[in-house]
Structure 1
Amino acid sequence: MSNLKNQDVIGILNRLAPKSYAFEGDKIGLHVGSLSEPVDKVMVTLDVLESVVDEAIEQDIDLIIAHHPLIFKPLKSIDLSTEKGRIIKKLINHNISVYVAHTNLDITSGGVNDMLMKQLNIETSDPLVYTDSEEIYKFAVYVPTTHEEFVRNAISEAGAGHIGNYSHCTFNSEGVGTFMPLEGTDPHIGSTNKLEKVEEKRMETIVPKHLLDKVVRAAEKAHPYEEMAYDLFKLEIEGEKRGLGRKGKLSKPMPLDEFANYVKKAFNVPNVRMVGAPEKTVHSVGVIGGDGNKFIQQVKNRGVDVLITGDVYYHTAHDALGIDLAMIDPGHHIEHVMKNELAAYLKKQVEERNMKVSVTASEIVTEPFHFI
């Protein structure tokens, strides 16, 4: 049995797609099971259907990581005559945990929308619909001059001190630190009950909120003192903007109908629905995985010629025509590209950490529609 726990793998996922990125009320996180259960085998899926759970049972999977929530609406009962009830029973009986990364995986850099743009071979520039921006903190740590470079390198490699295309950005001021080790301490410098004075540097840098814990841990590991002194201040400056969807530009403009066929082939779907004049010239492209109906005006305001999204409604299509926004609907299921992409990412991360965990992608096709 593995010494690793579900939380070890989920910790890697949460660094890619922090839970704080998710829309308010989104049903992300642990749905079934326990974070403290041992884990040897992980499977990534788009949807948690009964067929997917059966696949997981057959492969002795310990943890399912899904994009779409298993439990989206609160359950009033667990009826074993329903598919949802049978799924939950099988998961519990076979000790399989389910963890969900939904809108946080949509929004994050390298997430679902970037994966869709990669499938289209379109270079991504910015989020399509801004949701918020990263909070930025000032991190100041007091370091003896002997360990200045150790600590600077440690916090920089953990993600602190990045400004634009520059890394290792710090400001350092000299001073004298004082402390008195009390009974029961094991000081790096000094003796018990004797006041010590040490030449130190105050090293200041900036850190995005989602990396704070990682940076502080890295500093503590590199710092020689038993108790590291540091300050944190929230700054009134705007960090990296986050948002849903992605915007990109075609390397060569093409008519809408030609581009629609390109999308069809890129996602290997039997057909797509197209809104707009076939001869309309497409320069810029937006993509929102899943259902992007309610964002059409915001997308239009970003100067996009065509929006690729799923589940396009009849009235939304008319509204899009009214604002001269073309739309291409290849279906909600195109998000399945996240299975192999996320599995490959997690596999690489666990290998780099020498974690003995296998990561696979579900082979079950969860597209509910047939095209005739």
Structure 2
Amino acid sequence: MNAVPSARQVIALLEKFSPEHLAIEGDRVGLMLGTLDKPVKKTLVTLDVTEGVVDEAVQRGADMIISHHPLLFMPLTEIDTSTSKGRVIQQCLHHDLTVYTAHTNLDIAPGGINDWLAEAIGIQETAVVVPTKKDHLYKLVAFVPEEDTERIRRALGDAGAGHIGAYSHCTFNSEGTGTFIPGDETDPHIGNRGEMTFVAEKKVETVVSDSQLADVLQVLTDVHPYEEPAYDLYPLSLEGESFGLGRVGTLSSAMKLEAFSNHLKEVFKVDGLRVVGDLEKSVTNVAVIGGDASKYWPQALAAGADVLVTGDVKFHTAQDAEAAGLALVDPGHHIEAIMKAALAERLGADAQASNYNVEINASAHATEPFTFL
């Protein structure tokens, strides 16, 4: 029978692919309101936490709201319940709603918002536009009994060790003999207290990124038969995976800027958008950065983009980009709402795989403040 997870366990599923440490420094991510130490039967995924979204969460019987935009971005000096923000907080507390935010970490995460946007647009062979972090790599060398090698090797790979390019579960294995004398307070898996023990072991070498290191070491401790697993850990000079904002890649075929802009209207179901540049310009290389990211137009241009798709483009920024030869298309900040269904589907699948009895829904409440006339 599937168990009802805690809010902390649901967030652990989110953290596996969108960890908080990926967020840009100073960004407000994580727990906004409530507690993670409570059972969660229903979760609502939303772009923003507004009064309408909270009403929807209450009507659906949700225990937790996961948002992209932070409920509490700036420090509070007071909670005035005559204001919309105050009422949102009041209602969340009254109905025991936990509120958790994944903001720029979800923007940056592989398989997160910018990848969802790129896929929807039809951008192929993508790369990061604005690098923000590179993983440091370590070599993990574990010493394991021969009969346990395959089980431990598989567990380490499943936990994230051994990723080299498009390959996973990469290891190097060599044979040897382990020796030890169990102490008086031990309960040895092999051997007897006070006696020299010789064990046929294998040395399993693999690579681990710092973002996966804690999980991998915990798995090694959990699955290793020894009370005190023996392992070495070495920092490497090799660079790990690069993380960052936005994605840039190519369309399957070139389009005129006007046709591309109309394509975006259909993809994101918007009634209007703003375009900067010659509508007859041919567009092949496309960059997309969700949210308010027009300030990164130089990086998009340097990455070879013909056009940058982003929201909240400012007047002088548009002039500068146009003068440099980069087209801009602004379909609005709200296109990030693509994360509602995508994240609900991802978390729902992961919860099912973990045998969690939890319902995860995308909010049906629109938080777009603009109307096109």
Q: TM-score, normalised by structure 1?
A: 0.97
SS of equivalent residue, structure 1 residue 193: coil
> Shift of the alpha carbon at 1:124?
4.2
> 1:112 is matched with which residue?
113
Match of 1:290 in 2: 291
Match of 2:335 in 1: 334
Is the CA contact (8 Å cut-off) linking 1:124 and 1:246 kept in structure 2? no
Say whether the 8 Å CA contact 1:179–1:195 is kept in structure 2.
yes
- Kindly provide the CA deviation profile for residues 306-327 of structure 1, in whole angstroms up to 9, marking residues without a partner as x: 0000000011110011110000
Say if 2:226 is the partner of 1:209. Answer: no
Residue 274 of structure 2 is matched in structure 1 by 273
TM-superposed deviation, 1:132: 1.8
Match runs of 1:135-146 below 5 Å: 135-146=136-147
Matches within 5 A, 1:252-263: 252-263=253-264
Structure 1 runs not aligned, ≥5 long = none
Alignment of 1:1-372 (within 5 A): 3-372=4-373
Per mean C-alpha deviation after superposition, the further-off stretch among 98-107 and 169-178 is 169-178
Letter in structure 1 aligned against 2:165? G
Deviation larger for 205-214 or 268-277: 205-214
1:10-64 CA distances to partner (integer Å, 9 max, x unpaired)?
A: 0000111011110000000000011112111111000000110111111111110
Amino acid at match of 2:346: Y
Could you tell me how far 1:161 is from its partner in structure 2?
1.3
Identity fraction in percent:
49
Is the partner of 2:177 in helix, strand or coil?
Answer: strand
Q: Distance in 1 between matches of 2:308 and 2:166?
A: 30
Mean alpha-carbon deviation: is it higher for 317-326 or for 116-125?
A: 116-125
Please say if residues 4 and 358 of structure 2, whose CA atoms lie closer than 8 Å, have aligned partners that are also in contact.
Answer: no
Shift in Å, 1:251: 1.1
State the alpha-carbon separation in 2 of the partners of residues 83 and 164 from structure 1. Answer: 48
Distance 2:169 2:110 in 1: 21
Q: Quick check: 2:248–2:300 contact (8 Å CA) kept in 1?
A: no
Preserved contact between residue 123 and residue 248 of structure 2 (Cα < 8 Å): no
CA distance in 1, matches of 2:186, 2:129: 54
CA contact (8 A) 1:175 1:200 kept: yes
For residues 138-187 of structure 1, what are the alpha-carbon distances to aligned partners after superposition, in whole Å with 9 as ceiling and x for unaligned? 11111122222222122122221121233332223333322222334321
The Cα of 1:77 is off from its aligned counterpart by 0.6
Using the size of structure 2 for normalisation, the TM-score is: 0.96
Q: What count of residue pairs does the alignment treat as equivalent?
A: 371
Give deviations 1:91-117, integer Å, cap 9, x for gaps: 111110000000000001110011111
Which ranges of structure 2 fall in alignment gaps of 5 or more residues?
none
CA distance in 2, matches of 1:308, 1:108: 19
CA distance, structure 2, for counterparts of residue 223 and residue 295 of structure 1: 47
Q: How far, CA to CA, are the matches of 2:211 and 2:113 in structure 1?
A: 19
**Is the contact made by 1:117 and 1:124 (CA closer than 8 Å) also made in structure 2?**
no
Give the Cα–Cα distance (whole angstroms) in 2 for the partners of residues 223 and 109 of structure 1. Answer: 30
Q: Distance in 2 between matches of 1:135 and 1:316?
A: 35
Q: CA RMSD in A?
A: 1.3
Q: C-alpha distance in 2, partners of 1:301/1:226?
A: 53
Shift of 1:3: 4.8
- How far the C-alpha of 1:128 sits from its partner, in A, is 1.3
User: 1:256 and 1:221 mapped to 2: Cα distance?
Assistant: 55
Contact 1:65–1:98, Cα closer than 8 Å, also in 2:
yes
1:128–1:243 CA contact under 8 A, matched in 2: yes
Tell me the distance in 1 between the aligned counterparts of 2:90 and 2:181. Answer: 59
Q: Confirm or deny: 8 A CA contact 1:42 1:359 kept in the other structure.
A: yes
